[in-house]
Chains A and B, each alone.
Chain A
Amino acid sequence: MSLVPHPPEPPKKPIKAPAPHEELFRQEPGGERDKASFVRAVQNFGQYNVRKRGHVDFIYLALRKMREYGVERDLTVYNLLLDIFPKEVFRPRSVIQRIFLHYPRQQECGIAVLEQMENHGVMPNKETEFLLIQIFGRKSYPMLKYLRMRLWLTRFKNINPFPVPRDLPQDPVDLAKLGLRHIEPDLSARITVYQMPLSDDLTGTEDPIQPHIVGIQSPDQQAALAHHNPARPVFVEGPFSLWLRSKCVYYHILRADLLPPEERKVEKIPEEWNLYYPMQLDLDYGRSGWDDYEFDIDEVEEGPIFAMCMAGAHDQATLAKWIQGLQETNPALAQIPVIFRLAGSTGELLTSSGLEEPPRPLCEVQEEDDDHRKQQQQGRS
């Protein structure tokens, strides 16, 4: 819950009363919303009234408007906002003032500014400290929050064991590569771009004819696929969503079901494998109960996953192209039947109007046997 109080709900009248000082943030015709205009708006407030009446409301409004102007990660802008407070007025001057929270609304406002800094990961500096001391004094709550930010923000900087870079790449192929690396961080896995996005000039860049297809597979998975029994089918499942900061990408996986226990082959260690020491001791008993750490209640055995991909479109045609691309490195895939299990809905659950759209799963189950049909399709498309 942010400390910034939301503006009161508009009454049922058709005309909404504007927030105080909102006209300062009104966009001029032809001007874009950027740091310079934000700074100008803030400075205009100072020129409006020398006594700075209503500065608390103005600061709350400015905090809300920061995101539109794109300055929420800028430390100088926050220092500018803190500068709006009149300086020596709010410092407690006697013991009694110190006991009771002196000027509570203003202190809450200061804390709100610092909290928005913290939410966006902006580290305050000496100037912020100086301003806070000037405005609120050393023993105030904003100063306490500042000290805590100085301590904990440094410690939390590297706390994420799987960090996602702040500036995500705009190019969808690069984004797909980043996402796949996050799913499979093993360095021996290879990422291959099966198809680059190509758009026709006529249709424009929103609807490329060829969506990008980026796949990932590690040598272990390749070996497992080569050993897979051609009588059992493999499934292409998806799309599953992966969130990278504020972007959602979708990926598909190629997997097979677990072999039932009777069909599972136990690898027999050949008798004459190791020249130097016996790989298998000829004893009757196995691991004793005290030393057996194999069982883990959280571990559920799943079927093998052979490859993953991220594609621009989620329909069967693009995924078929992915399978064809995979066949170059995994020739065994040609003999294995591939079943496409695609869920229909690809939109995010919450649309911009704020209403939830229930997902409509369409289980398209189509069987494609042999590469004969695939080649026919290739010839056709």
Chain B
Amino acid sequence: DSQKIDREGKIPDDILEKLKSLGLFGMQVPEEYGIILVGTEEQKAKYLPRLASGEHMAAFCLTEPASGSDAASIQTRATLSEDKKHYILNGSKVWITNGGLANIFTVFAKTEVVDSDGSVKDKMTAFIVERDFGGVTNGKPEDKLGIRGSNTCEVHFENTKVPVENVLGEVGGGFKVAMNILNSGRFSMGSAVAGMLKKLIELTADYACTRKQFNKRLSEFGLIQEKFALMAQKAYVMESMAYLTAGMLDQPELPDCSVEAAMVKVFSSESAWQCVSEALQILGGSGYMKDYPYERMLRDARILLIFEGTNEILRMFIALTGLQHAGRILTERIHELKRGNVTTIMETVGRRIRDSLGRTVDLGLTGNLGVVHPSLGESANKLEENVYYFGRTVENLLLRFGKTIVEEQLVLKRVANVLINLYGMVAVLSRASRSIRIGLRNHDHEILLANMFCTEAYVQNLFSLSQLDKDAPENLDEQIKKVSREILEQRTYICAHPLERTS
């Protein structure tokens, strides 16, 4: 009973028992990812059976009061004991999911590591800590805005003895472990949110087709139809993105899909917030009442933008990873240009002239040998154009900023937005083509959704890319920075009140 869980703030025990018996505890919860990804055979054999059967629960302890997104500045320390068989763990972690119920914790702490050149540094290490090791206490469950059924609390470690065998990965390698765990757990949000949106569309459509105002059903009003189309479109796109990422991850070489997972997470969390808000709006006053599940879903959806990496941080991650990859390829060319290689200069100049005269880009998606079905041909052309101009823009950005682009967050934000849109377009076009080729039902509906999303994303991308030009009039970065500087200096709103007079 979700309402009761929301009110009381905890999931009743019998439901937990049923989940255990269904074996759902064996699903890939991020806490176990650490053990599965990095654990040695003995660690896996020792902990995984108990976790999968639901006897014990695991919790992932990384955040501290002073370090949320900034994970490398944690204060928890683990010192090696004299007999070198134990680590003594001291510190406290905050906002730990399942903190009160878990028996096994994946804790990140700073340890002293001796480098190869003899200098002693503090590096992060991951440990598997059991509650039986002693010294593990947890605070009271926090009262949250949403997902109130989940038990979130502080966990304190006081002189907890952790045997040396319980180190996950290697000593000092905790940073990589944390990154891997966070990257792998991210993209499942896409499919979860898509499922929630589908249910939402069902519930809301029922209401919209029965309620009559001004002698017309709500479903006949254009603004309401627009909201439904938006929900359907976002659900389709995020589902396609999630499954495309999952398909990529299933390939035998286990490719690193952290960027794609991040893109899925950002898109899904933002669309979830927008669509749940619109669905609540369709219901009007009843959506606001606690009797209906909409306000609860809205509150639950708000956390999606924050946990598993805040959306802002993830945008930086997406943009910077992409730029690093592009930068490596570009370094070659920049070196050649600097050396004065005539052919390269002529190439670049020729390309710039052709771009300014306006060209059509054909990357091979459409046409006789194209992979995209002809009914999606226009959208594929838009995608190709966007990709080409995005490439040009990235080149220009790297030439202008170079390494210092790390500080230009507003530029990186636009780059990340373009990237997310492009990935969405790719996912949607491939899924729609496939469903036409196989003949799934309602594939013409899918074509509609795909074309709609591609047109919208194309227009948004063009605007973002035009903003990224040097001294573009659409680029308001300078003004934004100036305004925020003036406001933050005084820490208040600085304009004079409209009724003030100087005389």
Contact = CB atoms under 8 A, between A and B. Distances in A.
A274 B443 CA distance: 40
A157 B439 contact: yes
B209 interface: yes
B291 to A, nearest CB: 23
A156 interface: yes
- Measured as residues with beta carbon below 8 angstroms from the partner, the interface class of chain B is 10 to 19
A274 B437 contact: no
Contact of B214 (A156, A159, A187, A273): A273
A158 interface: yes
Interface string B421-454: 0000000000000000111111100000000000
B440 A187 contact: no
Interface of A: 154-159, 187-188, 273-274, 279
Contacts of B344: none
A101 to B, nearest CB: 31
B442 to A, nearest CB: 8
Contacts of A157: 439
B214 A158 contact: no
B209 A155 contact: no
B210 A155 contact: no
B441 A158 contact: yes
A155 B214 contact: no
11 contacts: A154-B438, A155-B439, A156-B439, A157-B439, A158-B439, A158-B440, A158-B441, A158-B443, A159-B439, A188-B209, A274-B214
A252 B5 CA distance: 52
Nearest to B209: A188
Interface in B484-498: none
A156 B443 CA distance: 12
Contacts of B438: 154-155
A369 B438 CA distance: 59
A130 B286 CA distance: 62
Nearest to B435: A158
Interface of B: 209-210, 214, 437-443
Contacts of A156: 439
Contact of B439 (A154, A188, A273): A154
A187 B210 CA distance: 10
B214 A279 contact: yes
A158 B440 CA distance: 6
Nearest to B213: A274
Contacts of A274: 214
Nearest to A274: B214
A155 B441 contact: no
A188 B441 contact: no
A155 B438 CA distance: 5
A350 to B, nearest CB: 34
Contacts of A155: 437-439
Which 7 pairs across A and B sit closest by C-beta, in order of nearness?
Answer: A155-B439, A158-B441, A154-B439, A158-B439, A157-B439, A154-B438, A158-B440
A187 B209 contact: yes
Nearest to B443: A158
A156 B440 CA distance: 9
A158 B444 CA distance: 11
Nearest to A163: B441
Contacts of B442: 158
Contacts of A154: 438-439
A157 B439 CA distance: 7
A159 B443 CA distance: 9
A279 B438 CA distance: 48
A274 B439 CA distance: 47
Given A187-B209, A274-B214, 11 more contacts: A154-B438, A154-B439, A155-B438, A155-B439, A157-B439, A158-B439, A158-B443, A188-B209, A188-B210, A273-B214, A279-B214
A293 to B, nearest CB: 15
Nearest to A219: B210
Contacts of B210: 188
Contacts of A158: 439-443
Contacts of A279: 214
A279 B440 CA distance: 43
A264 B437 CA distance: 51
Nearest to B440: A158
B24 to A, nearest CB: 32
A362 B441 CA distance: 45
Contacts of B441: 158
Nearest to A155: B439
A158 to B, nearest CB: 4
A273 B213 CA distance: 11
Nearest to B212: A219
Contacts of B214: 273-274, 279
